[in-house]
């Protein structure tokens, strides 16, 4: 017999070898129908997994993150099986689940067409109706290489050859289709009730531009058609909100051929950017941060000392100055280390909070670039906090409160993930355990729910990541808090303790916006370009009905500007309806229509982007309305 402890803390004995799916059936028939995978002692497994010793078990449905991954991973296998049925000579590369669906990379000489995607979808429907069971089997490494070589799957051979010689290699079989795979998967193809192939893209094998370009098919799938319909509806809405299109239409920014991945901000985009930076500076000053600025280029020795040379070199740009090797900074932290070292601090000086809006450069493959969301240079709203060990929890709580305050100003909900030690990391397990415990304690003190993201920490320490949810339900990773015991050691940072001896400070890396550029891209899509009044690059546009109102409009514009309101005038000899439509397309919060009646009464006819016609209004009252919206950030 084995004792199985469930998520709610209850436990029960079962016969040895019972499967995860059988336990789900024993708990509830409804749960068994919804189940897609299980978590056995924290590891995600198939429902077919036998349980041979005492364990904790969590039954996963599609609503769980790991459940979605298993569901979408199976969907990628269904797609690959359909492709192989239709195009037997195509070679398979990889086909993982991703944050929103799945993809599979194929090596084919003939590019896929939209008609091919339709044919693949029809074949996938057949495979789903066949309700093929997924069976896992394992082979020793050499047998596995022979097995995939016989199938002429050279990419699979390469993947297996990269594994240790004593590895046991797992495969999954569904009908005639077999794929190299670690799993887990749902029990059968029939579980996938609704799906859609979304797009085609090129992708270098293993992300290396020196390798062959493969063809990637993206898709999405759900247990219910209604869920798919809702997703596709959101996808259409997302296209309307695409920040690249709106950035061009609203004259905010551009990405030019002369600088791929290096955005140009236009005057209106700079207004928006400066508002965000001013808000950042104001709130950080209130919370005891001191602003610094560190150089963009620093020498090789610094990056070796920080660990970036060994752990991050492939993402960096380099240059040679006076016969010496230098790097353009991909991160701001080493510069902050040098500023800390400029003097000796006492324990009474800590915590020390250094904030920096620092421009960094990171090498991204051209295929990965995406508007403001993925660029090669961006401004991180960094801060580095140096503290005593006993101050760690309070400082983390303070950063959590700051992040929460910021996101509420923009109307964002968010969820939190705690990322643990990655495979490539600095420091001992003991140091990592201490750091992870400190982050957990802070989250639990705040009563915050969080998800453990195993192995996704920074190379120097664990981190808390904040994932924003925008107005159409998409999530974006922005803020992060990273606890670091390594960098103070590598830079020999010290302070004088109460005992008069030197001690090592603990350090936090943190960002709130993450990247100013990316945050602007998220805001454009979140608001669909219709920024709230306090953020709008142009808050008011004055529209003339006749030439006779020109002088009054100029007087009004001056009054509004003196009141701190961002204003434009439209005195063109065009119909007023045309002017109003154009202002609405520019998503300007307020339009003031001025004709003979308004000139005579010394008032303004107010049209709101969100509320429509507000009628005549006293100029002073209108200015008060705008100023209230700005001060309250409504």
CA-derived radius of gyration, the chain: 29
pLDDT score recorded for residue 72: 96
Active site residue 463: yes
294, 336 Cβ separation under 8 angstroms: yes
Q: What is the β-pairing status of strands 506-511 and 475-484?
A: antiparallel
User: Among 307-311, 331-335, 421-425, 512-516, whose mean pLDDT is lowest?
Assistant: 421-425
- 312 within some domain: no
Structure token digits, residue 97? 């689940």
Residue 53 has pLDDT above 80, yes or no: yes
Cα torsion 533, 535, 536, 538 to 10°: value is 100
Kindly state the average pLDDT of the residues 567-596: 95
Left (φ > 0), alpha (ψ -120 to 50) or beta: where does 423 sit?
Answer: alpha
Angle at 100 between CA 242 and CA 183, to 5 degrees: 160
Query: DSSP string spanning 44-60?
Result: EE-TT-EE-S-EEEEEE
In this predicted structure, the answer to whether residue 594 has a pLDDT above a threshold of 80 is yes
Q: Which residues pair with 604 in a beta bridge?
A: 617
Residue 513 φ then ψ, to 5° = -65, -35
pLDDT tens digits, residue range 142-197?
Answer: 999 999 999 999 999 999 998 888 889 999 999 999 999 998 999 999 999 999 99
Provide mean pLDDT across the span 388-416: 93
Establish if 316 belongs to a structural domain: no
Among 68, 329, 362, 587, the active-site one is 362
- 440/458: higher pLDDT: 440
For residue 166, give the CATH number of its domain: 3.30.980.10
Q: Mean of the per-residue pLDDT values for the chain?
A: 92
**Residue 332: both structure tokens together:** 């701001």
* Same domain? 88 vs 186: yes
- Whether 491 maps to a domain, the answer reads yes
Q: Which two tokens stand for residue 627?
A: 């100023």
Q: Is 610 exposed, middle or buried (0-12, 13-18, 19+ CB in 10 A)?
A: exposed
Given 526, 553, 576, the domain boundary residue is 526
Pair of tokens at residue 386: 């140096």
| 3-state SS class at 195 | strand
* Helix H or strand E encompassing 580: helix 576-585
- How much is the pLDDT for 340? 96
Judge if 163 and 260 occupy the same domain.
no
Instruction: Find where tokens 């003097």 sit.
Output: 343
Per the annotation, the verdict on 377 as an active-site residue is: no
Nearest 5°: phi and psi at 292? -130, 170
Residue 87 sits in the same domain as residue 201: yes
For the record, the structure tokens of 274 come out as: 């400066």
**Residue 583 tokens, joined:** 């202002």
Q: Which of 375, 361, 358 is nearest to 317 (CA)?
A: 361
Average pLDDT over residues 585-596: 95
pLDDT at 2 over 80: yes
Catalytically annotated residue among 308, 509, 510, 566: 509
**Number of independent structural domains in the chain:** 4
Q: Is residue 324 part of a domain?
A: no
Alpha-carbon distances, residue 127 vs 86, 172, 176, 191 (angstroms): 12, 15, 11, 11
pLDDT exceeds cutoff 80 at 286: yes
Range of the domain at 503: 248-291+332-526
Torsion angle defined by CA atoms of residues 268, 269, 272 and 275, in that order, rounded to the nearest 10 degrees:
-90
How many angstroms separate the CA atoms of 494 and 189, rounded? Answer: 59
12 catalytically annotated: no
Helices of type H across 151-266? 154-161, 225-240, 243-249
For residue 185, what pLDDT is reported? Answer: 94
Instruction: Find out whether 614 and 607 touch, Cβ atoms under 8 Å.
Output: yes
- H-type alpha helices, 381-483: 392-409, 429-445
Q: Quote the pLDDT of residue 494.
A: 96
Whether 116 is covered by a domain: the verdict is: yes
Residue 604 — pLDDT band, cuts 50, 70, 90?
A: very high
Are residues 348 and 476 located together in one domain of the fold?
Answer: yes
β partners of residue 178: 173
End residue of a domain, out of 34, 61, 88: 61
Residue 108 inside a domain? The answer is: yes
**pLDDT surpassing 80 at residue 426:** no
Which residue is associated with the tokens 């008069």? Answer: 500
**For the residues 95-117, what does the mean pLDDT come to?**
93
**Pick the residue with more confidence: 35 or 456?**
35
Do 80 and 111 fall into the same domain?
yes
15 confidence band (pLDDT: 50, 70, 90): very high
- In this structure, the answer to whether residues 382 and 489 fall within a common structural domain is yes
52 flagged as catalytic: no
Residue 315 forms part of a structural domain: no
pLDDT at 435 over 90: no
Q: Which one of 376, 463, 467, 579 is the catalytic residue?
A: 463
pLDDT tens profile 522-580: 999 999 999 999 999 999 999 999 889 899 999 999 999 999 999 999 999 999 999 99
- 188 and 282 share one domain: no
The closest of 586, 207, 499, 518 to 376, measured between CA atoms, is 518
Given 181, 333, 377, 478, the catalytic residue:
333
Q: Do 232 and 176 belong together in one domain? A: yes
Q: Are residues 510 and 568 in the same domain?
A: no
**Range with top average pLDDT, 416-430, 458-472, 513-527:** 513-527
Residue range 326-338, pLDDT digits in tens:
999 999 999 999 9
pLDDT in the model for residue 473: 83
Mark which of 240, 261, 282 sits at the end of a domain: 240
CATH number, residue 460: 3.30.930.10
CA atoms of 239 and 525, how far apart (whole Å) = 9
The yes-or-no answer on residue 370 being catalytic is no
309 within some domain: no
Distance of CA 521 to the CA centre of its chain: 12
Are 390 and 285 found together in one domain? yes
Whether 475 and 544 share a structural domain: no
Q: Is 287 helix (H, G, I), strand (E, B) or coil?
A: coil
CATH number of the domain within which 578 lies = 3.40.50.800
Q: Choose, from 46, 382, 470, 484, the residue flagged as catalytic.
A: 382
70 shares a domain with 30:
no
What's the pLDDT score for residue 112?
A: 94
Catalytic residue among 49, 174, 380, 482: 380
Q: Annotated catalytic residue: which of 273, 329, 384, 607?
A: 384
């Amino acid at each position: 017999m084995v004792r199985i402890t469930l998520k709610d803390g209850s436990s029960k004995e079962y016969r040895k070898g019972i499967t995860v799916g059988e336990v789900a059936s024993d708990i509830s028939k409804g749960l068994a129908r919804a189940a897609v995978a299980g978590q056995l002692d924290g590891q995600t497994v198939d429902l077919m997994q036998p349980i041979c010793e005492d364990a904790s078990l969590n039954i996963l449905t599609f609503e769980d993150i790991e459940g979605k991954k298993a569901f979408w991973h199976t969907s990628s296998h269904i797609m690959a099986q359909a492709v192989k049925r239709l195009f037997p000579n195509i070679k398979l590369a990889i086909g993982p689940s991703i944050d929103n669906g799945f993809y599979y990379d194929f090596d084919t000489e003939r590019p896929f067409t939209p008609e091919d995607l339709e044919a693949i979808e029809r074949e996938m429907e057949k495979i789903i109706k066949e309700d093929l069971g997924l069976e896992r089997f394992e082979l020793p490494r050499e047998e596995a290489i022979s097995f995939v070589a016989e199938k002429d799957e050279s990419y699979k051979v390469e993947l297996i050859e990269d594994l240790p010689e004593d590895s046991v290699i797992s495969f999954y079989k569904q009908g005639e289709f077999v794929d190299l795979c670690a799993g887990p998967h749902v029990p059968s193809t029939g579980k996938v009730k609704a799906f859609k192939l979304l797009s085609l893209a090129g992708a270098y094998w293993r992300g290396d531009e020196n390798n062959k370009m493969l063809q990637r098919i993206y898709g999405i799938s759900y247990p219910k058609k209604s869920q798919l319909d809702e997703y596709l509806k959101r996808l259409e809405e997302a296209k309307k909100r695409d920040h690249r299109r709106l950035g061009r239409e609203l004259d905010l920014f551009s990405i030019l051929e002369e600088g791929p991945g290096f955005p140009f901000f236009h005057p209106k985009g700079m207004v928006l950017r400066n508002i965000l930076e001013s808000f950042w500076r104001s709130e950080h000053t209130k919370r005891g941060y001191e602003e610094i600025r560190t150089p963009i280029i620093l020498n090789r020795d610094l990056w070796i000392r920080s660990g970036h040379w060994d752990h991050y070199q492939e993402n960096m740009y380099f240059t040679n100055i006076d016969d010496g090797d230098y790097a353009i900074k991909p991160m701001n932290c080493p510069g902050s280390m040098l500023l800390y070292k400029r003097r000796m601090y006492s324990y009474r000086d800590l915590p020390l909070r250094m904030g920096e809006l620092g421009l960094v450069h990171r090498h991204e493959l051209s295929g990965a670039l995406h508007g403001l969301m993925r660029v090669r240079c961006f401004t991180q709203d960094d801060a580095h906090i140096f503290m005593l060990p006993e101050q760690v929890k309070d400082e983390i709580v303070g950063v959590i409160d700051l992040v929460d305050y910021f996101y509420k100003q923009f109307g964002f909900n968010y969820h939190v993930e705690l990322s643990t030690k990655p495979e490539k990391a600095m420091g001992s397990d003991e140091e990592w355990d201490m750091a992870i415990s400190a982050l957990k304690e802070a989250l639990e003190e705040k009563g915050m729910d969080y998800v453990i993201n195993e192995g996704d920490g920074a190379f120097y320490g664990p981190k808390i990541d904040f994932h924003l949810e925008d107005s159409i339900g998409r999530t974006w990773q922005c803020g992060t808090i990273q606890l670091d015991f390594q960098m103070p050691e590598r830079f020999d940072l010290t302070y004088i303790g109460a005992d008069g001896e030197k001690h090592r400070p603990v350090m936090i890396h943190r960002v709130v916006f993450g990247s100013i550029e990316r945050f602007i891209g998220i805001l454009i899509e979140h608001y669909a370009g219709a920024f709230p009044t306090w953020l709008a690059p142009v808050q008011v546009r004055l529209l003339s009905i006749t030439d006779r109102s020109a002088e009054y409009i100029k007087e009004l514009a001056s009054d509004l500007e003196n009141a701190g309101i961002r204003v434009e005038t439209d005195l063109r000899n065009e119909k007023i309806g045309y002017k109003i439509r154009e202002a609405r397309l520019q998503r300007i919060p307020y339009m003031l229509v001025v004709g003979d009646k308004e000139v005579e009464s010394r008032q303004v006819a107010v049209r709101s982007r969100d509320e429509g016609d507000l009628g005549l209004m006293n100029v002073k009252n209108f200015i008060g309305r705008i100023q209230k919206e700005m001060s309250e950030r409504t």
